[in-house]
Structure 1
Amino acid sequence: MNNMGAIITEVQRIQQELSKLTVDISEGDGMFSITMNGRQEVLNVKFGPAALSQDNIDALELLVASAINRAINESKQMLQNEVAKLTGGLNLPNMPGLF
Structure 2
Amino acid sequence: MRGNMKNMMKQMQKMQKDMGQAQEKLEQKTFTGVANDDLVKITMNGKREVQDVKIKEDIAEMGDSEFLEDLVLLALNDVLQQVENETEQVMGKYTNNLNIPGM
Q: TM-score normalised by the shorter chain: which range applies?
A: 0.7 to 0.9
Partner of 1:79: 87
Partner of 1:49: 57
Whole-Å separation in 1 of the counterparts to 2:86 and 2:102: 14
Whole-Å separation in 2 of the counterparts to 1:71 and 1:57: 21
- The alpha carbon displacement at 1:32 in A equals 0.8
- The alpha carbon displacement at 1:16 in A equals 0.9
- The alpha carbon displacement at 1:10 in A equals 2.1
| 1:39/1:65 CA distance change after superposition, 3 Å | same
Q: Which has the higher helix share?
A: 2
Consecutive unaligned residues of structure 2, counting only runs of 5 or more, are 1-6
Partner of 1:65: 73
Assess if the C-alpha contact under 8 Å between 1:84 and 1:91 holds in 2.
no
Partner of 2:43: 35
Whole-Å separation in 1 of the counterparts to 2:54 and 2:102: 31
Consecutive unaligned residues of structure 1, counting only runs of 5 or more, are none
Assess if the C-alpha contact under 8 Å between 2:30 and 2:46 holds in 1.
yes
| 1:2/1:82 CA distance change after superposition, 3 Å | farther
Q: Give the superposed CA RMSD.
A: 2.6
Q: How many residues align?
A: 94
Give the percent of matched residue pairs that are identical in Structure 1 and Structure 2.
Answer: 26
Whole-Å separation in 2 of the counterparts to 1:71 and 1:77: 10
Name the TM-score, length of structure 1 as normaliser: 0.74
- The alpha carbon displacement at 1:60 in A equals 0.7
Whole-Å separation in 1 of the counterparts to 2:75 and 2:98: 28
Amino acid across the alignment from 1:82: V
Whole-Å separation in 2 of the counterparts to 1:57 and 1:42: 21
Whole-Å separation in 2 of the counterparts to 1:45 and 1:76: 19
- Structure ID, larger Rg: 2
Partner of 2:3: none
